[in-house]
Chain A
Amino acid sequence: MGILAAITAKCAEANVNISDMSQTVMQDLFVMTMLADISQCRVAFTDLSDTLKQCGKEMSMQVHVMHEDIFNSMHRI
């Protein structure tokens, strides 16, 4: 409970806009994927990443913060 609220609150604090989101359960694990726009982000990417990871840790969850370039380069020709 409150996973979405906690993560989005941290994003809002950093002025990061959530543009898309999906949730699913994979192999009994809750998986939430968010597409966030960091163009107006007020903090450095590495700081945002650290904040969100820490936030996940406090809820016993793992958070991966990855720039979209990595997915585009690996999965698009």
Chain B
Amino acid sequence: MLNTTDIRETIQMIQQENLDIRTVTMGISLLDCADSDIDAACRKVYDKIARCAENHVRACDDIEKRYGIPIINKRISVTPVALLTAAAAEPVMFAHALQRAADTVGVNYIGGYSALVHKGFAAGDTALIESIPQALSETTKVCSSVNIGSTRAGINMDAVALMGRVIREAAEATADNHCFGAAKIVVFSNAVEDNPFMAGAFHGIGEPDCVINVGVSGPGVVRSAISREGMENADIGQIAEVIKKTAFKITRMGQLVGTQAAAALGVPFGIVDLSLAPTPAVGDSVAYILEEMGLEQCGAYGTTAALALLNDAVKKGGVMASSSVGGLSGAFIPISEDAGMIEAVKSGSLTLGKLEAMTAVCSVGLDMVVVPGDTPSDIIAGIIADQAAIGMVNHKTTAVRVIPAIGMKEGDVLEFGGLFGSGPVMAVNRRSPAKFIGRGGRIPAPLQSLKN
């Protein structure tokens, strides 16, 4: 028998605490679309996406109505396009094919304009990476990601240097549009193959032909749970328990939506990504959760420990709730998309240095960080190298999504609008890593024993 308290709790989570399904992402393999004739390849890409995702948006809309849960984004991820450009040149044509397909099926974003170069560049990789700024400035829905390091392969420093330049060029190419090109690029270390979240989603080569992955949300729900009556003097262990229970409920919702969407579309269900994804909406903030635990403001000493506790508890609760957990799974800390993070940066409490420490224990890395417009590509490459090293050594996914705000300086605010929010321009250390970055080559993979 249904309990009315449970019913009201669910409705309150959705109505007042911003609980939603952040994304239902359909992963589509494009491996059967390779063709040495670029026009034929693009046609195959368009046809396959249009065929597989024809009913994707409608199925999600039906589920949204049936269960009363908002599904914010419907997206598509595809096989890293570099694998197709190996057979056909002119990679930008693929970006346009992806855009056309995304427009036809009505999804918000399509990810997979990607290359995996953690150990070196294969045919097609360099051409694709160099075309990213042009591709992202000429399209609106296409997202790009490049994996430049892994625990088993080390870090490809040539790719790190290249990505520093590509991010700058993408920002410059979209300077009249909030430098948004750079917000659609993610540089990964240890990228995962089933991530449903943009801009880093791509459909890994180990995945089935077509699959449904779901990303949940819910920072507002977690914060609300630990601010309830009786939690005022709770010890840390009790806080972890409450987070676990809340994550369980959120994940069960994701699991239900994912399996229903997969069944409606006749494709296998992939994973639920347990990530706590904040939005700029008041209350839907990961920083507020940390502050609710007892920090004066995000960025204070103790922030890294509080985030580690949060990240771990979310995973433990979520793993119990779903038969298939994957993706990035943890707490995201995107600056521009989190009201509490924005305030902390503006007040000077949260600096890039502290943020880097937080990325060692969060689910991804430096996300939606706006840096001054005159930041040289070498410094961006240095930021990427540091993040990649944290991921490589700690066996975790790390990522960099930095946006050089062309024409802006520290203290200014770059407005994106919508879910992307607004990013205060953060100070960067101006000492040059140019010689280190310019050496090129590969940082060897780390030792897997003698762990201290």
Contacts and interface: CB of A to CB of B under 8 A. Distances in A.
Interface of A: 20, 22, 24, 26, 31, 33, 35, 45-46, 49, 64-75
Contacts of A68: 2
Contacts of A20: 1-2
Nearest to A46: B65
A21 to B, nearest CB: 10
Interface in B64-116: 65-69
A39 to B, nearest CB: 15
B253 A64 contact: no
Nearest to B250: A74
B51 interface: no
Contacts of A26: 8
A33 B255 contact: no
Nearest to B64: A46
Contacts of A31: 8
Contacts of B62: 46
Interface string B1-16: 1111011111100000
Given A45-B66, A67-B66, A69-B67, A22 B253 contact: no
A74 B10 contact: yes
Contact of A64 (B9, B11, B249): B11
Given A46-B62, A75-B3, A70 B8 contact: no
B309 interface: no
Interface of B: 1-4, 6-11, 62, 65-69, 249, 252-253, 255-256
B10 A71 contact: yes
A27 to B, nearest CB: 10
Given A49-B65, A70-B253, 18 more contacts: A20-B1, A20-B2, A26-B8, A33-B7, A45-B65, A46-B62, A66-B11, A66-B68, A67-B66, A67-B67, A68-B2, A69-B256, A71-B10, A72-B2, A73-B252, A73-B255, A74-B253, A75-B249
Contacts of A75: 3, 6, 9-10, 249
B253 A73 contact: yes
A20 B2 CA distance: 10
Contacts of B6: 71, 74-75
Contacts of A33: 4, 7-8
B252 to A, nearest CB: 5
B432 to A, nearest CB: 52
A31 B3 CA distance: 14
A68 B10 CA distance: 11
Nearest to A48: B65
